[in-house]
């Protein structure tokens, strides 16, 4: 317990990190700068993962041939943890934001993909049959029937992927990045500044919570009163 900072120390450091004026060190009043840098990396990685995983998941969930072709690769790479990818990513991509975005994309991709596959497979066959009897094309069935009906499961996968993006952020920003919450936490660890580590954890937790709420509210606003999104 001796290494844990007192709540009042954390509160003062958090205030100084946000507004400055208490300690006047390198991190005073820089919360917005570090939060913005980290949020942009999470958003980029998560957006890329969603853009890839959702359409691939819909195709794998509805077409057995696509699933048979891609499922072995998915199950081969899915168990590999992000930490195991770090040396290879640094060699291929190099240090900096690109490596962080790649790790976030990789970590968020699989939960979004698996939830999308499961959600599309649970779409009632009668809905698909009714759409086809009305003359809807195969692409129309996917866009107008399958995707809307599978939205709750897809959103659940997106929420998990977004949360993992914030989890992997610290790992990604530990290499060759000067600005960001993860970079701050890793530097504080090297300096044995547990108070600053806790401050970084609090900010990441709040940022992850707010981004999840924004994602859910965005889908609720998009779909209106239709019972497609569960909070």
Domain boundaries, the chain: 31-223
What digits encode the pLDDT tens for the residues 123-163?
A: 877 877 777 777 777 777 777 778 888 888 999 999 999 99
What digits encode the pLDDT tens for the residues 83-112?
A: 888 888 888 887 778 889 999 999 999 999
pTM of the complete model? 0.88
Range scoring the smallest mean pLDDT among 31-45, 47-61, 66-80, 123-137:
123-137
Widest Cα–Cα separation across the chain:
71
What was the pLDDT predicted at 189? 86
CATH topology of domain 31-223: MetI-like fold (1.10.3720)
Average pLDDT in the 173-182 region? 84
């Amino acid at each position: 317990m001796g290494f844990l900072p007192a709540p009042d120390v954390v509160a003062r450091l958090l205030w100084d990190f946000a507004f400055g004026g208490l300690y006047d060190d390198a991190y005073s009043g820089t919360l917005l700068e570090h939060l913005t840098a980290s949020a942009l990396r999470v958003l980029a990685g998560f957006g890329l993962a969603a853009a890839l995983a959702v359409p691939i998941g819909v195709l794998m969930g509805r077409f057995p041939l696509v699933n048979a072709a891609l499922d072995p690769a998915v199950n081969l790479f899915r168990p590999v943890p992000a930490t195991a990818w770090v040396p290879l990513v640094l060699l291929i991509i190099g240090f900096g934001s690109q490596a962080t975005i790649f790790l976030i994309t990789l970590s968020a991709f699989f939960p979004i993909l698996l939830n999308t596959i499961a959600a599309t497979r649970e779409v009632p066959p009668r809905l698909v049959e009714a759409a086809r009897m009305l003359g809807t094309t195969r692409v129309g069935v996917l866009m107008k029937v399958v995707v809307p009906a599978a939205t709750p499961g897809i959103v659940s996968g997106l929420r998990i992927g977004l949360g993992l993006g914030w989890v992997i952020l610290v790992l990604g920003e530990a290499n060759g990045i000067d600005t960001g919450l993860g970079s701050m936490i890793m530097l504080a660890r090297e300096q044995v500044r547990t108070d600053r580590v806790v401050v970084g954890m609090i900010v990441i937790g709040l940022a992850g919570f707010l981004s999840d709420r924004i994602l859910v509210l965005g889908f609720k606003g998009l779909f209106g009163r239709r019972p497609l999104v569960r909070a």
